Each structure stands twice: as structure tokens, then as C-alpha cells.
Structure 1
């Protein structure tokens, strides 16, 4: 045998005995699902309450997923529900959780598909994907920790901070004088924009509150309003025209969340940009919104659409069509995703979830700043454990 032939034989032997990716990949060994209820200090009301469609919000249900792997990595994710739904999301998450065991945590899309099919008979939107969201988010958290990077850096950040606005100080249950005080507190804390709730039965009251807040802020400070789906098309166009003088960043959810045609007509008719999308619960629903030219700002919510994986697909489609991004709620997750969006986005600031985590986000100069902590950068607090009412475990505990 020639030297060359012998060398080839050795090379083939080495390839034959090399280990494959399947043999060397990490594996999920343990999964924990928990349901906690976070109480709110004051019952919260928006237009849905004042128009009789809902009761005041008194607590937020949080569904946590904790994932550990054979190689010692861990990830944490969460979903949530306001008012009804938390128990149902937890129940479905519990039913499908064991499908993660034995999977390579790096194969996030594969796992997502597996979880979808595990609950296929209840659909691919709404509660079905909201139950997948904690697992998907935990896997992305884990993946970034494995890479020793903040999630935004793993995705590829366009910026290290995101302009943010506050919503929690402008709810309709709050008297106007307190709203004005909240506005001042928010500005002093480093907030870059203010959003107040509108959509009351008496639209004159909306305009009164809006006039007072604009006066307090001055002409140039970013100001948004949110009607929480309470107007019909005729009311929205009439009030929208009256609000043009306030130079708003956007009017949010003026119509029913699924009225794509109505939102598109409103976006065309008004100078003020339209924002919507927070109530949609799948990529396909956001696809209809984006392709239907129904808003200037898209407002996906990662826990509601099924996690980070579908959120990234929404981001990609929105960017291709030149839409601006303003994710809803859950700033602990959305900071990373907004930082990775190519067009300058807005981030919604809610302090409600702060007690759940040991770490807090930095607010400065009108922007929320990425920390250097790996993954999402959060660990569960003892308070979160105390608020937990149900939990279940699968696999071998580390």
C-alpha cells in the first residue's frame, strides 16, 4: 500500500471514530413549572373597566419555567396572565413539560415544534402558545448563558440601551392630580416618555386629562395615549383628529385588536401614528396586522405570542416592512429583543414585576440600559417563591 493510500485509510478511520453532534450535545434533565400570583397594591382600571367590560385588575398570574441540563446549565422563563387564564396556562404547561426531557437545549426551534404538536388539539395561538412561552424563553436564557453573553448580544444588538416610556402612572383609576404627580416622578427617575390611558365613556374627560398632562410635560416631551380597544371606527377618527394638536408619539389600540381594516384606515387618515398588537397571540395574527398596513408601531408581547422564538419572526417581518417596534409589558424580556431591532424602538416601563427578581434594570437619561449579566440577567427572588401556589417537577433534579 502506498504512503498516500495508508494516510487516507488513517483519515477515514479517524472520521469513523469521531463523535457526532448528537452524541456530544447537552441534554435537558430537569424541568420545573410554577404558578405564582403577584398582588397589586392598588386595583388597576383602564377603559375596559370604565366601559363595563372587565373588573379592576388586582393581581397578575406568573407562570415560571426553570430548566437544567446534564452539563450544568440553567435557564429561566415566564409567561403571565391578567385576570383569568393563569391557572389554564399553568395546567397546559404542566401537561406538555415532559416533552423537553432528553432534548438538546440548543435545538430551540425543534423543541418549540415538538411542544406545539404536543398540544395541537387546542390550537397554535392563545393559551396553547402562552404555555410554551416560559419554556422557550428559558431555553433562550440558557443559550445566552452558555455563550456567556447577555441575550441581546447573542442575538446581535443594534444598541446598548432603549428609549422607554412609563404606563403605570397614567391609569384611569388614578385621579388627575395624582397622574400629574406621577408624571413628575417618572421624569425625575429617568423615563423618556409618558403614556396615559384614554377611552372613557365621556371623551371630554379624556381630552381634559390629556391637556393637563401635555401642559405638565411641555410641547417636546414624548407623550402617548392608549384607548384599550374601546372605540368604534367613527369615534376613533373623530377623537383622533381632536388629538392631533397634542403631537402624540402614537394612539394605541383605538379599535378592536382584530380590526385590521379599521386600523389601516385610521393609520391612513391620521397624522398621529397608530400602535397596536399587544393582544395578539401568534405570529400569524401579527403577520395579518403587518401585511395589512394596520399600524405604524407593532406591539408584540413575547409571553403572549408564545415566547422569544415567534417574537423574533415578528421582528424580522416588521423590520422588512419598515414598522417601528414598541413591545408590550414584560420589559425584563423585551429590553433584549428591542435592543436587537434595527429601527429605533420604544420599551414599555412597568415596575410591577420588580419584586419577582433579585436584579433590577437601570433607567437613565430616558433609556433602559442593558446590563452585562448573562442571559436575561435575572434570578427569582424569595418573594416570588413565597407567592407560588402550585409547582411541579419533571426529570432528575440537579
Structure 2
């Protein structure tokens, strides 16, 4: 007869015959990735933030008694990286001895270990790195790409590029970047808008449409910079471009404003990347605030939470376009029933030895098991802090 030990409210640590393996060791790494060029979007042009010069990553590597391994990560742009690492370090030993298959229960245990700091934001972003590593391990143990373990609906996903269209780049550079992306097999182009002078945004978009032609899917991203009247005026002005979506036209938490805008425009409205929990996304869905939902698995607590949100989004027939971290989101988008989009950023490529295949406008799921990535020597060189728990087999 199986025995149980109550470890946290509402959860039990199993010790029955079904437990075939346990987590023996893990390593946390705080990695700072420098950006070649300081990045500016509307938040910089309106004085809310400084240009972004680096991205902080929290990597979690896990090994089990039976020799199975997994790697996951979370990240923070600008502030927050050291805080994620510090919180992960506090709760890391909670994972030692756990059955790595019990991912949902482990997620709950780790959240309760830091319950006083809440179930969203920095705390659950730290938990996300553990969660993603456990899913990577589970798929590797099965010998399957993560998308196949989850149950893929497709082996490739439509993709669009964002990194070539920031506001700091002159228009000619944006046009050159777009042409290069399309030549490299990327299917769509997104550029940043939200400049203090809206005429500047419209001129750049006009030039881009003329440059790439009428058949290339285009998106714009205002990064929360417009108030409701400005969003309404700009939304109407943007209708003529046939955009796939207008992204974050309003404050990320203005569900009612997004809902009213979405109802008034033909162009779909997309939002969600800045939200830090499933519960916050539920408010968007409850208000019909988005035609396209854009969750970020590391930001909302990992793959376990993302799957919960994806099921709800499908129920409401929403389009899905996960934010950033294509190395994770390719698999999750491939498992979403409604044809999604994945955002292409090449910023993370130096961190990994492998690359994603992109052709014919789509990202392709590889045959590599798990997420399909291993940390590079460069990632090790950019590591600024480490912590280990347990003993490596």
C-alpha cells in the first residue's frame, strides 16, 4: 500500500511503486546576455524606460537518479534577473527527491514554498524555469520532441520577425531587415509603433507595405503607449494596411479598453505578453479584450500554466501568438489546435548549440527530444552566478 506525506497545503508527496525516479541534482545559472545594439520601443520614446542593453536569464538544469536530464529557463528584460535567481535559490532544495513526472504537483509545491510573495510576477517566473526543465526532461525521457509529447497538431508553425523593427532603427534599416527576414524564410513582419508623433508610425508602415508588397503579413506593436482616444484614432488609420493584428495598443491591464477597441475595429487586437499569471489572462478573456492572446510561458509560471491557459483560449476560439522565447513556444504553439503564430527573435541563439529550422514562412519542430536545445559555451561564459542543490549522479 502506498504511503503519503503531507508536505504543503493541498499536495502530497508520493512514495508508492509508481515512483520510478527522483530528482537528485540541479544547478541554477544566472546568465546575462548583452545586446549588440541598445533596443528602443515606444516605452523609451515616451520616457517610461531606458533603452534595453541586455537580457537576464535564469537557467535550471536538472538530473535524476536514473540519469535523465532537463533544462529550462526564465528571463527578465531590464530589472528583475537577480531577483528571479535569488528566489529560485531559496526554493531549489524543495525539488530534490521529488518524482520528476509529477510536474503539476511540483509546481504547486514550489509556489507554496514562496507563498508570501504571491502567485504571479517574479516569484512564479522563477518557478517557471524549474517547470520548463521538468517538461524538457519528461520529453527527453520519452525520446520525443516536446510538441509530440504534448500532442502536436502540426509539425511547423507560422512565424514572424520582430527584432528588425524597433523604433530606434531608421526606416531604411527596418526595410532592409524585413527583406532579409523574408529572404531567410520568415513569413511575416512586425514593427514597433507608438512614436509620440503618430504620423511617423504611419509613414514607416506605408514604406514597409510598399517595400514588401501586399501579400506579406504585417503586424504592429504599440507597447501599451496609447490612451483610449489615441488608440481609436490610430486603429482607424491603420485599417487600410490589412494588418494581422495591432498589439498592445493600451495598458496591458486595461481589459475594458481593449475590449471596446477590439469591438470597434476590423483589425484584430492582440495583447497579453506583459501579464504574469493565468488569472490575469482570464480577465482579458472574460472581457473579450483580445482577438489574439499572447501569453509568455516563462512569465506566467511555465509550461504547466501555459497549457491551462491554452485550453481556455481554445474554448473561446482565440488566436494564439506566444511572446518571445521561440525555443519554448514553438512546441507549445505546435500543440495548439487553432493555427497560431510564433515570434522570431534571434537574440537567444548564442545561448544554445542548436538552431531552429525556418523555411517557407514557418518554424519547423525538429526531431530532437525535449525542447531540443543544449547550453552553449558562450552561455557558460556569460554566467554571473551559480547555485547547486543535491548531488549529481
On whether the aligned pair clears a TM of 0.5, the verdict is yes
C-alpha deviation, 1:22, in angstroms: 4.0
Offset of residue 196 of structure 1: 0.2
Aligned-partner Cα distance in 2 for 1:205–1:221: 21
Show the counterpart of 1:384. Answer: 379
Determine if the alignment matches structure 1 residue 37 to structure 2 residue 40: no
Q: Does 1:216 align with 2:220?
A: no
Displacement of 1:220 in angstroms is: 1.6
Work out the CA distance in 2 between the residues paired with 1:46 and 1:22: 54
- Distance in structure 1 (CA, Å) of the matches to 2:371 and 2:57: 17
Aligned equivalent of 1:243: 238
Asked if 1:109 is matched to 2:95, the reply is: no
In the TM superposition, what whole-angstrom CA distance separates every residue of 1:286-329 from its partner, at most 9, and x where no partner exists?
11111210000000000000100000001000000000000000
Q: Number of paired residues? A: 379
The residue matched to 2:189 in structure 1 has which SS? strand
CA distance in 2, matches of 1:24, 1:77: 22
Secondary structure, aligned partner of 1:93 = helix
Partner in structure 1 of residue 146 of structure 2: 151
Q: Is the 8 A contact 2:61 2:133 kept in 1?
A: yes
Q: Deviations over 1:234-290 (max 9, x none)?
A: 000001000000000000000000000000000000000000000000010011111
Question: Which residue of structure 1 lines up, in the alignment, with residue 9 of structure 2?
Answer: none
SS in 1 for 2:83: helix
Structure 1 or 2, whichever has the larger Rg, is: 1
Counterpart residue number, 1:272: 267
In the aligned structure 2, how far is the partner of 1:285 from the partner of 1:128? Answer: 15
CA-atom RMSD, angstroms?
0.8
**Correspondence for 1:8:** none
Q: Deviations over 1:74-123 (max 9, x none)?
A: 00000000000000000000000100001000000010000010000000
Name structure 1 gaps, 5 residues minimum. Answer: 1-19
Deviation, structure 1 residue 23 = 6.3
Distance 2:226 2:19 in 1: 56
Give, in whole Å, the separation in 2 of the partners of 1:238 and 1:105: 51
The yes-or-no answer on 1:187 pairing with 2:182 is: yes
- Measure how far apart 1:142 and its partner are: 0.3
Among candidates 287, 296, 300, match of residue 292 of structure 1: 287
The match for 1:90 among 70, 85, 88 is: 85
Matched residues in 2 for 1:143 and 1:184: separation?
Answer: 39
Measure the CA separation in 2 of the matches of 1:243 and 1:110: 46
2:368 aligns with one of 373, 377, 382: 373
SS at match of 2:100: coil
